[in-house]
C-alpha cells in the first residue's frame, strides 16, 4: 500500500475489520463480480469479508454495456436496481453496418427465452425488478415483450453494487491491498494477508477465499501457474459527447473490408462510447493520425462532429483484448471467478453476463453449504465448473469467432464477413438465433455450432453467386478454403471451452 494514502480520508468502517474472526468467506476484489458474490453469500447467512484496494469510484472504459443475460442474472441475485438512478441508457438491439449498408437486429422476445430464476433468500421485496427513474422505465424493462440490455458509466454502476453490499449486515468491508493468498502446511488456502492503511499487514482467515480481482488479476496463478491470458489485439476508446447516433438505443457495429471493427454505444444521456479495434496488442505510434485516416472515413456521417471533437481533445484510452479459458477450481479453500478465471474478446460485450451468471450459479451450488466442510465445497465447485460451460462457452466462443470474422484480415475471412452480413439480411431465424446467443439468453453451444457453420455455408453460396458461372471453378476451390478457415476460427475455442 502506498505511503501517500491519506488514512484520515478513509471512512472508519472500511478500516475496522477484525482479523480475530474466521470468516465463512473472504472476497478479494470489489469490481462487478465481488459485491455480487458477497451480497449473495451474506443473504444466505454467511459471514463475509470483502477486501478492495480503493473504494472510491473508478473511471474505466470496460464493463459499460450489459447484455440481457447479465440483467437476467442481476434479477436472479436480487440486484437489478443497481442500474437505477445512474443515467443508464436502455439497449434494445444492434445496428450492424457493412461497407455503408445497414441491418437492424432487435433483441429476442422474452417469450422465446427461459423464465428468470429467482434464487431463494436473495430475491425479496421486488428487488428483482427495476424502479422508475429518468432513463430507466418500468414499462420498457418489465412490461415490454422483448429483452433489454443497458449501457451505463461503469463507475456509477459499480458504486451502486457497492452500496447494495454495504447494506448487508453479514458483510464486513475492508480497504486494503491483498498482498498474499495464505496457505496451510497442506497447501490449502486459508485466507489472505492484507496491507491496511494505518494498520500494516494482517492475516485474515476464512473457510473459502474468492479471488475476483479482474482482468489484471494478481492471484489467478494461485489456481495454476500456467493460468495466463493471451492478448492478441486491443481497443482504442474515446468519449463522444452529445453524439448524433444513427440508431437510438442500439449498439452499433461498424464493419468493412477496408477497416477494423468499430463499436459505438450510448452510456449516458450525454456520453457515447466509441471503441476502435486495432489488430495488435501494441497500439499505433500516432493514435490521432490512425483514428483520422483508418477509422474516421468509415464512420456514419452523423457521428463525425462528435468524433472530430474527441480526436481533437486527444483523450484516448486503450484496453487489451484478452482470452483466457477457465480452469477447474481444484485448490481446497479457493474459488477463482470472474475475469480472474475466464476472459473472452470484449467485442460482444459478454463479460459481465458471463461473470454474473457464474455468480448466480455459484450461489445456487454452494450458497447453502457449510463452508467449514471444505471437501464437500470443493466437490461442488468441480460440479459448478462443468455446469457453467453450457452458458459461458456460447458467449466466449462467439466473441472469438465474430472478432475473427469482423476483423477479417484475409480473403477467406472477408468472404465469411460478407456472408455473415448477408445472412443477417435474410431476417427471421437468421437474426433471432444469432442475437439470442449474443444477448446471453440461449445457452446451447451445439446450436451455436450449427448456426455458425450455416453462416459459413451461406457465405460460400454468396461467393458462388458473386463469382458467376465463369468463376464457379474458382469458387469451388475457395469453398474448401472458406470451410477450413471457419473451422479454424471456431472449433479450437469450442474444444477449449467444453473439453479443456
CATH of the domain at 188: 3.50.50.60
User: Does residue 207 sit in the same domain as residue 236?
Assistant: no
Residue 114: count other Cβ atoms within 10 Å of its Cβ. Answer: 10
Give the sign of the dihedral formed by CA 421, CA 426, CA 430, CA 432.
positive
**How far is it, in rounded angstroms, from Cα 373 to Cα 134?**
47
Residue 104 lies in a domain: no
User: Does residue 218 sit in the same domain as residue 327?
Assistant: yes
User: Does residue 328 sit in the same domain as residue 470?
Assistant: no
**How far is it, in rounded angstroms, from Cα 193 to Cα 182?**
7
Write down which residue in 266, 295, 321 finishes a domain: 321
Task: Calculate the alpha carbon distances from 186 to 183, 206, 332 in Å.
Answer: 8, 16, 10
Yes or no: say if 410 and 396 are a contact pair by the CB < 8 Å rule.
Answer: no
User: Does residue 241 sit in the same domain as residue 348?
Assistant: no
Mean pLDDT, residues 142-150 taken together: 97
**pLDDT of the residue at 8:** 87
Yes or no: say if 207 and 372 are a contact pair by the CB < 8 Å rule.
Answer: yes
High-pLDDT (> 70) share of the chain, %: 99
**How far is it, in rounded angstroms, from Cα 257 to Cα 76?**
41
User: Does residue 308 sit in the same domain as residue 339?
Assistant: no
Retrieve residue 388's grid coordinates: 457453467
Mean pLDDT, residues 450-461 taken together: 98
**How far is it, in rounded angstroms, from Cα 168 to Cα 37?**
12
Retrieve residue 32's grid coordinates: 462487478
User: Does residue 486 sit in the same domain as residue 403?
Assistant: yes
HEC states along the chain?
A: CCCCCCHHHCCHHHCCCCCCCEEEEEEECCCCHHHHHHHHHHHCCCCEEEEECCCCCCCCCCCCEECHHHHHHHHHHCCHHHHCCCCCEEECEEEEEECCEEEEEECCEHHHCCCCCCCCCCCCCCCCCCCCCCCCCHHHHHHCCECCEEECCHHHHHHHHHHHHHCCCCEEEEECEEEEEEECCCCCEEEEEEEECCCEEEEEEEEEEEECCCCCCCCHHHCCCCCCCEEEEEEEEEEEECCCCCCCCEEEEEEECCEEEEEEEECCCCEEEEEEEECCCCCCCCHHHHHHHHHHHHCCHHHHHHHHHHHHHCCCEEEEEEEECCCCCCCCCEEECHHHCCECCHHHCCHHHHHHHHHHHHHHHHCCCCCCCHHHHHHHHHHHHHHHHHHHHHHHHHHHHHHHHHCCCCHHHHHHHHHHHHHHHCCCHHHHHHHHHHHCCCCCHHHHHHHHHHHHHHHHHHHHHHHCCCCHHHHHHHHHHHHHHHHHHHHHHHHHHHCC
pLDDT at 2 over 80: no
How remote is the C-alpha of 384 from its chain's centroid? 19
pLDDT digits (tens, 9 = 90+) for 9-30: 999 999 999 999 999 999 999 9
Residue 112 lies in a domain: no
Range of the domain at 447: 398-498
Residue 88 lies in a domain: no
pLDDT at 1 over 60: no
pLDDT at 233 over 80: yes
Residue 491 lies in a domain: yes
Residue 270: count other Cβ atoms within 10 Å of its Cβ. Answer: 12
Yes or no: say if 95 and 104 are a contact pair by the CB < 8 Å rule.
Answer: yes
Mean pLDDT, residues 281-303 taken together: 96
User: Does residue 170 sit in the same domain as residue 252?
Assistant: no
Write down which residue in 392, 411, 435 finishes a domain: 392
Write down which residue in 288, 303, 321 finishes a domain: 321
Residue 421 lies in a domain: yes
Rounded to 10 deg, the angle between the 374-406 and 445-467 helix axes is: 10
Phi/psi at 400 (nearest 5 deg)? -70, -45
Phi/psi at 342 (nearest 5 deg)? -150, 125
**How far is it, in rounded angstroms, from Cα 334 to Cα 317?**
34
User: Does residue 49 sit in the same domain as residue 165?
Assistant: yes
User: Does residue 411 sit in the same domain as residue 494?
Assistant: yes
pLDDT digits (tens, 9 = 90+) for 401-438: 999 999 999 999 999 999 999 999 999 999 999 999 99
- What confidence tier does 499 reach under pLDDT thresholds 50, 70, 90? confident
- What confidence tier does 150 reach under pLDDT thresholds 50, 70, 90? very high
Average pLDDT over the chain, rounded to whole? 96
Residue 66 lies in a domain: no
User: Does residue 488 sit in the same domain as residue 403?
Assistant: yes
CATH of the domain at 253: 3.30.70
For the stretch 134-163, what's the b/e string if a residue is b when 16 or more beta carbons lie within 10 angstroms of its beta carbon? ebbeeebbeebebbbbbbbbbbbbbbbbbe
Residue 397: count other Cβ atoms within 10 Å of its Cβ. Answer: 26
pLDDT at 304 over 60: yes
pLDDT digits (tens, 9 = 90+) for 38-70: 999 999 999 999 999 999 999 989 899 999 999
pLDDT at 177 over 90: yes
Q: Are strands 317-323 and 200-211 parallel, antiparallel or unpaired?
A: unpaired
Residue 120 lies in a domain: no
Mean pLDDT, residues 125-142 taken together: 98
pLDDT digits (tens, 9 = 90+) for 355-392: 999 999 999 999 999 999 999 999 999 999 999 999 99
- What confidence tier does 252 reach under pLDDT thresholds 50, 70, 90? very high
Yes or no: say if 326 and 385 are a contact pair by the CB < 8 Å rule.
Answer: yes
**pLDDT of the residue at 50:** 98
Beta bridge partners of 237: 275, 317
**pLDDT of the residue at 4:** 65
Total count of domains within the chain: 3
User: Does residue 329 sit in the same domain as residue 317?
Assistant: no
pLDDT digits (tens, 9 = 90+) for 309-344: 999 999 999 999 999 999 999 999 999 999 999 999
The more confident residue out of 281 and 447 is 447
**pLDDT of the residue at 189:** 98
**How far is it, in rounded angstroms, from Cα 183 to Cα 433?**
46
Phi/psi at 254 (nearest 5 deg)? -105, 115
**How far is it, in rounded angstroms, from Cα 26 to Cα 388?**
22
pLDDT at 3 over 60: no
Residue 177 lies in a domain: yes
User: Does residue 164 sit in the same domain as residue 52?
Assistant: yes
Amino acid at each position: 500500500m502506498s505511503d501517500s494514502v491519506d488514512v484520515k480520508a478513509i471512512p472508519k468502517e472500511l478500516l475496522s475489520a477484525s482479523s480475530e474472526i474466521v470468516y465463512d468467506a473472504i472476497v478479494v476484489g470489489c469490481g462487478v463480480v465481488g459485491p455480487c458474490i458477497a451480497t449473495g453469500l451474506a443473504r444466505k447467512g454467511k459471514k463475509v469479508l470483502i477486501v478492495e484496494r480503493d473504494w472510491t469510484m473508478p473511471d474505466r472504459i470496460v464493463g459499460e454495456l450489459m447484455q440481457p443475460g447479465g440483467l437476467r442474472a442481476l434479477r436472479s441475485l436480487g440486484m437489478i436496481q443497481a442500474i437505477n438512478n445512474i443515467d443508464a441508457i436502455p439497449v434494445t438491439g444492434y445496428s450492424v453496418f457493412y461497407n455503408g449498408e445497414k441491418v437492424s437486429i432487435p433483441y429476442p422476445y422474452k417469450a422465446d427465452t427461459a423464465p428468470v430464476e429467482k434464487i431463494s433468500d436473495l430475491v425479496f421485496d421486488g428487488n428483482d425488478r427495476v424502479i422508475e427513474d429518468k432513463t430507466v422505465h418500468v414499462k420498457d424493462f418489465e412490461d415490454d415483450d422483448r429483452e433489454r440490455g443497458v449501457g451505463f458509466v461503469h463507475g456509477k454502476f459499480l458504486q451502486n453494487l457497492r452500496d447494495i453490499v454495504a447494506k448487508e449486515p453479514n458483510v464486513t468491508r475492508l480497504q486494503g491491498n491483498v498482498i498474499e493468498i495464505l496457505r496451510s502446511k497442506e497447501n490449502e488456502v486459508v485466507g489472505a494477508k492484507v496491507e491496511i492503511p494505518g494498520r500494516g499487514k494482517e492475516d485474515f482467515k476464512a473457510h473459502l477465499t474468492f479471488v475476483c480481482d479482474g482482468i489484471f488479476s494478481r492471484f489467478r496463478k494461485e489456481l495454476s501457474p500456467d493460468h495466463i491470458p493471451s492478448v492478441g489485439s486491443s481497443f482504442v476508446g474515446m468519449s463522444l459527447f452529445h453524439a448524433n447516433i444513427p440508431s437510438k438505443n442500439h449498439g452499433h457495429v461498424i464493419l468493412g473490408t477496408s477497416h477494423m471493427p468499430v463499436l459505438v454505444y450510448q452510456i449516458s444521456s450525454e456520453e457515447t462510447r466509441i471503441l476502435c479495434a486495432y489488430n495488435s496488442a501494441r497500439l499505433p505510434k500516432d493514435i490521432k493520425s490512425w483514428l483520422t485516416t483508418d477509422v474516421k472515413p468509415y464512420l456514419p456521417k452523423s457521428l463525425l462532429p462528435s468524433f472530430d471533437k474527441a480526436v481533437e481533445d486527444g483523450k484516448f484510452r486503450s484496453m487489451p483484448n484478452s482470452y483466457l479459458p477457465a480452469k477447474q477450481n481444484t485448490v481446497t479453500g479457493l474459488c477463482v471467478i470472474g475475469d480472474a478465471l475466464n476472459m473472452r474478446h470484449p467485442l460482444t460485450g459478454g463479460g459481465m453476463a458471463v461473470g454474473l451468471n457464474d455468480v448466480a450459479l455459484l450461489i445456487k451450488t454452494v450458497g447453502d453449504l457449510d463452508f467449514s466442510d471444505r471437501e464437500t465445497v470443493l466437490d461442488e465447485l468441480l460440479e459448478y465448473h462443468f455446469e457453467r460451460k453450457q452458458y459461458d462457452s456460447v458467449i466466449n466462443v462467439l466473441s472469438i469467432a465474430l472478432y475473427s470474422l469482423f476483423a477479417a484480415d484475409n480473403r477467406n475471412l472477408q468472404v465469411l464477413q460478407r456472408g455473415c452480413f448477408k445472412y443477417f439480411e435474410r431476417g427471421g431465424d437468421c437474426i433471432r438465433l444469432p442475437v439470442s446467443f449474443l444477448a446471453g439468453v440461449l445457452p446451447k453451444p451445439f446450436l451455436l455450432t450449427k448456426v455458425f457453420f450455416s453462416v459459413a455455408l451461406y457465405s460460400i453460396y454468396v461467393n458462388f453467386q458473386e463469382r458467376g458461372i465463369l468463376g464457379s471453378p474458382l469458387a469451388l476451390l475457395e469453398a474448401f478454403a472458406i470451410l477450413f478457415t471457419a473451422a479454424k476460427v471456431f472449433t479450437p475455442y469450442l474444444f477449449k471451452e467444453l473439453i479443456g
